[in-house]
Amino acid sequence: MHLDAILLARLQFAFTIAWHIIFPSFTIGLASYLAVLEGLWLATKRESFHTLYRFWLKIFAISFGMGVVSGVVMSYEFGTNWSVFSAKASPVLGPLLAFEVMAAFFLEASFLGVMLFGAKKVGPGLHFLATCVVALGTLVSAFFIISANSWMQHPVGFEIDARGRFVAVDWLQVIFSPTFPARLAHMVLAAYLSTALMVGAASAWRLLRQPRQPESNIALRMAVGMALIVAPLQLLIGDVSGKLVGEYQPAKLAAIEGFWETKGHQAFNLVAWPDRAVQANRFAVSIPELGSLITHGAADAVVPGLKAFAPKDQPPAAVVFWAFRIMVGLGLLMILQGVVGLVLWLMKRLETASLYLWFSVAMGPAGFVAVVAGWATAEVGRQPYVIYGQLRTVDAVSPVGAASVSVSLLTFVVVYALVFCVGPLYIVRLIAEGPVKADIGEGSMSRAPGSALGAGVEQ
Amino acid sequence: MTLDLPLVWAGLLALAVLLYVLLDGFDLGVGILFPFAGSDKDRDVMMASIAPVWDGNETWLVLGGGGLMAAFPGAYAILMPALYLPVTFMLAGLILRGVAFEFRLHGRNRGKPFWTWAFAGGSLLATLSQGLVLGGFIQGIKVEGDHFAGGPLDWATPYSLAVALGLVAGYVLLGAGWLVLKTEDALHGLGRLWAMRASVAVAAILAMVSIATLLIHPLIAIRWGIGAHQIDFPRFLPLLPIPLMGAVGLLMAYAGARSDTAHPHTPMVGAALAFLSGYLGLAVGFLPFIVPYAMTYEEAASTPGALKLILIGAAILLPVTLAYSAWVYWVFRGKVGADAGYH
């Protein structure tokens, strides 16, 4: 296989998966949020919850569409670009992906129709059920895809057959591999947190324009509450996940922390420039002792450095190091956002503290950036392997020439540039209009009367 | 008694692909017909008629891809690289038309017309690409050992282009049949006209492609009992109901679209029969090969353990899936009016 084709295939996967992951993260969180809103509306009959539901449902519909179409790409890309991986790993991973389709995708896709267009057709109880089923579907989908990915991070419960295929010998071990529970929790919390930040940003924006707007007031409090609880929890879960990385993927941990030498009393590198070419950090701002303490709980703990691995077995250290820092840095800001929000809330100044509201607006996309950075840490950190320790990425690629991969990469870049600029633009427009304006605008001037979605969510 | 797991999965996957073709076929067909509607209002109705169900329909394609990977990784690993470019273009088309459902509602002055065209263009591109995939599949794929060994443009032949045009006509027929069923007034009349024209086009292209298939694939001709100079009747006669079903289906579609008194289901049912006929016709030509004449479904199959696990899952989940999919169609039954549809 030509090296260019491998690089292009990698680029294509990184490009398509990075765009894809944003939208499921948003829809996992939004689906649950919508279920909560509709449940609250049915329970309290407060119209504000219904207004919020209809507002976020429109944004959900756009995001879900983008998640679906970019997800279909993924299900074929395994075969087009990574056919050797597919042929070898399918006996283990195929069932997990098939279960995702059968147990989750159909559920989401079918009940989404009822959720978007069925309010008048099925009655409030059944409609609420449809919302809950869609929310459940998003979580089931996360379950199987994280299960598959966790197995690739730390493959267990398998053997290799005469044809070189990975064959499951213990399905429970495969599905519930050791890093899976923490990684699933980390992902779902990330989705909830990212969604809370978007809801918070939208509400803060509205309150800056229109103080005391009641729906935005409610939504902002819900978002602050979520950030307050979930952001610190996410730090704890992330730490558990990180400890597992240290246990099962020491090379990744070394890259995350910029450790090169294997030793006790590792310093913690606050910022650094790890460079594989020189097998060292070109510069580093460090805190002594803290590295061993954070990663292994004791300052004298011996932590392997990257030099313990042959250069061909090392992940690209700089990408992993910085992706991790972006994720954690944003995570710390999210904790700050929750805590400051609580203080302002207790001081009864939450909806008028314009500096805080601006901060919340700025933090709107932070969850998605953190999600992409987190996945970059996990996936780039697993390199040079696609199945850790078992199958190298270079050995997993399809027998397809660089020309074909270039054409498809270009196609995806052009189509994604269009779709993933316009979609967020429409979402931002809806957010700018705010819940009530967008609701009144329905069916009058902004969209054609009787248009499918306009009519569907109007009721 | 033990189950022949690969055989069961070959059957299930064939069923999933057939369901995909019939279900997404009609909504892609509606997309291809989009520019030919008389007004934006009619286009709104056309889109509203498929908006609640298209996503579920497309999921059968994901099951087709995911199921092929899970049950027959050997075939997945050959077919995807072999059909690399048409698969890519199919995905691009599906992206454009998939997002258009929402984007068209939110577009304003330039946005709405753009997404109208993206919906139509994406639907056409996806359908043509699927036809090229099918054509490339039928005409054969060069395999060495267990991997694809041909060139990137092997699929690009006049034959696969003819198949692609046939699939466009077929999806248009399904889509027109759907509009006959779901719409009223002028659009209903257009649906009838489109269905009549499409059934003629399908008949012509299907006949042409069938003859071409027999010519390029001597093995298929032998299986059908059709030689250059004579017909092997003991072979051919038992298979005759298959092309007959196609002919009857197309006649039904045409006549059903033409007549005012025919049941509004008739054109769609006729179109479905025509698709079933083509599908069975190919099965006769190819069984037990899953990569035509290069790899059988047994050679391509995953391990017994994997097949068993997904079969248990499918046995529970697929009936439930079919049930709630049917329920969704039932919820949205009846005519879709310009204003009345969702109020």
Q: What is the pLDDT along chain B (343 residues), one digit of tens a residue?
A: 578 999 999 999 999 999 999 999 999 999 999 999 989 999 999 999 999 999 999 999 999 999 999 999 999 999 999 999 999 999 999 999 999 999 999 988 889 999 999 999 999 999 999 999 999 999 999 999 888 999 999 999 999 999 999 999 999 999 999 999 999 989 999 999 999 999 999 999 999 999 999 998 888 999 999 887 888 999 999 999 999 999 999 999 999 999 988 899 999 999 999 999 999 999 999 989 999 889 999 999 999 999 999 999 999 999 999 999 999 999 999 898 655 333 2
B55 to chain A: which residues are within 8 Å by CB? 68, 108-110, 112-113
CB of B342 within 8 Å of any CB in chain A? yes
pLDDT in tens, chain A (459 residues): 456 888 999 999 999 999 999 999 999 999 999 999 999 999 999 999 999 999 999 999 999 999 999 998 988 899 899 999 999 999 999 999 999 999 999 999 999 999 999 888 899 999 999 999 999 999 999 999 999 999 999 999 999 999 899 999 999 999 999 999 999 999 999 999 999 999 999 999 999 998 888 999 999 999 999 999 999 999 999 999 999 999 999 999 999 999 999 999 999 999 999 999 999 999 999 999 899 998 888 889 899 999 999 999 999 999 999 999 999 999 999 999 999 999 999 999 998 999 999 999 999 999 999 999 999 999 999 999 999 999 999 999 998 888 899 999 999 999 999 999 999 999 999 999 888 765 554 433 334 434 444 433 433
B88/A80 touch (CB, cutoff 8 Å), yes or no: yes
Residues of chain B in contact with residue A95, where contact means CB-CB under 8 angstroms, are 70, 306, 309-310, 313
Q: Taking CA atoms, what residue in A is nearest to B143?
A: A399
**Nearest Cβ partner of B152 from A76, A401, A412?**
A401
pLDDT tens string A150-170:
999 999 999 999 989 999 999
B206-230 burial code (b ≥16 CB/10 A, e <16): beebbebbbeebeebbebbbbeeee
Distance, CA of B149 to CA of B205 (rounded, Å): 30
The encoded tokens of residue B72 equal 């027959």
Within 8 A of A107 by CB-CB distance, chain B residues are 321, 324
Give the count of Cβ contacts less than 8 A between chain A and B.
282
Per-residue pLDDT of B10-54, as tens digits, reads: 999 999 999 999 999 999 999 999 999 989 999 999 999 999 999
A97–B66 C-beta distance less than 8 A: yes
List B277's β-bridge partners, or say none. none
The partner residue sitting opposite B84, judged by closest CB among A106, A400, A447, is: A400
Question: CB contact, 8 Å: B205 with chain A?
Answer: no
For chain B, the structural domain boundaries read 5-331
Sign of CA dihedral A345, A350, A353, A357: positive
Verify whether the Cβ–Cβ distance B332 to A90 is below 8 Å: no
What's this model's pTM, rounded to 2 decimal places?
A: 0.91
**Do A423 and B103 lie within an 8 Å CB cutoff?**
yes
Chain A within 8 Å of B279 (Cβ-Cβ)?
A: no
Residue in B closest to A427 by C-alpha: B106
Closest-CA distance, B159 to chain A, in angstroms, reads 21
Distance, CA of B131 to CA of B137 (rounded, Å): 10
Q: Which chain B residues are Cβ-neighbours of A117 within 8 angstroms?
A: 51-52, 332, 342
- Asked if the Cβ–Cβ distance from B332 to A98 is below 8 Å, we say no
Residues contacting A157, CB < 8 A, separation 6+: A168, A169, A170, A171, A172, A173, A174, A177
Contacts of A82 in chain B (CB under 8 A): none
Alpha-carbon gap, residue A173 to A177, rounded angstroms: 5
ipTM of the complex: 0.91
